[in-house]
């Protein structure tokens, strides 16, 4: 039988150039970066590469004191690395599904734990949701990505995008919320009924409320963010 031979395995899983540009989905859970200069990626997400690529941890003053201070507040979740050089770089994050977004002068917010990589042309800033920092382990933070270029985000299993329209708000579980459009500003609310039902201190009682005109992406999984400093 050749069905399970090594040659057949290599044929089924071998890297394949699709000619899609800087970011390609090598598989649903592996991002291929056809690196020619520089890209930002989640620290620790490199699984393989070839060519001449240099990796640098984000410098403490690389983006100014403001970002460094916010970064310190959020723990390790937003650690980024800079990959510079020429070659092929393969990124993954705990087997999560990879989604590539081509921003065209757009703004999108991404949960800090679900941002995998983005082009050098993208402007970014870390936003700590201070109002719930004491309500959830380690608080909750997100990254604001703006400009024109590619952004790769991750989701546990298949993501679901919900439209937000005036008069029809969408309420989500913060731990299941992956991303949302830049024109939305979520508010946090506590559902007293759920709090009573699940017991005091349960994260289920905290909800994100999105109002206006835009979209929010959720995943069928609740990520619990632990602050290593606690």
* Whole-number Å distance between alpha carbons of 221 and 37: 35
- Average pLDDT of span 82-100: 96
Instruction: Report the alpha-carbon angle 168-171-172, nearest 5.
Output: 145
| Structure confidence by residue, pLDDT tens digits, 173-217 | 988 999 999 999 998 888 767 656 655 555 457 889 999 999 999
Which CATH superfamily is 19-218 part of?
Answer: Mitochondrial biogenesis AIM24 (3.60.160.10)
Q: What percent of the chain has pLDDT over 90?
A: 56
Please indicate whether residue 140 or residue 206 has the higher confidence score (pLDDT). Answer: 206
Instruction: Report the alpha-carbon angle 71-95-85, nearest 5.
Output: 60
At 11 the pLDDT is 85
Question: Is the predicted pLDDT of residue 71 greater than 60, yes or no?
Answer: no
Which of the 8 DSSP states describes residue 4? T
Which of the 8 DSSP states describes residue 84? E
- Sheet hosting strand 206-210, strand order edge to edge: 170-172, 206-210, 187-190
Q: Are strands 97-111 and 115-119 parallel, antiparallel or unpaired?
A: unpaired
At 228 the pLDDT is 38
**Other CB atoms within 10 A of residue 227 CB:** 15
| Structure confidence by residue, pLDDT tens digits, 6-40 | 888 888 888 877 776 899 999 999 999 999 999 99
Contact 106/194 with Cβ under 8 angstroms? no
């Amino acid at each position: 039988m050749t069905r399970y031979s090594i040659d057949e395995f290599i044929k089924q899983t071998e890297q394949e150039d699709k000619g899609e540009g800087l970011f390609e989905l090598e598989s649903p859970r592996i991002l291929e970066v056809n690196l020619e200069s520089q890209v930002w990626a989640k620290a620790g997400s490199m699984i393989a590469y070839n060519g001449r690529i240099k990796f640098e941890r984000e410098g403490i003053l690389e983006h100014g004191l403001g970002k460094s201070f916010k970064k310190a507040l959020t723990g390790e979740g937003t650690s980024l690395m800079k990959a510079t050089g020429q070659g092929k770089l393969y990124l993954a994050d705990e087997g999560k599904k990879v989604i590539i977004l081509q921003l065209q002068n757009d703004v999108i917010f991404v949960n800090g734990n679900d941002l995998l990589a983005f082009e050098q042309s993208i402007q970014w800033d870390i936003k700590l949701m201070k109002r719930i920092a004491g309500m959830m382990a380690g608080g909750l933070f997100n990254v604001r990505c703006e400009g024109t270029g590619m952004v790769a985000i991750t989701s546990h299993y298949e993501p679901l995008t919900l439209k937000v329209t005036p008069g029809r708000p969408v309420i989500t579980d913060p731990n299941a919320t992956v991303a949302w459009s830049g024109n939305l500003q979520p508010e946090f609310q506590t559902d007293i009924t759920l709090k009573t039902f699940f017991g005091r201190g349960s994260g289920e009682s905290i909800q994100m409320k999105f109002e206006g005109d835009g979209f929010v992406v959720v995943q069928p999984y609740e990520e619990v963010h632990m602050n290593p400093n606690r």
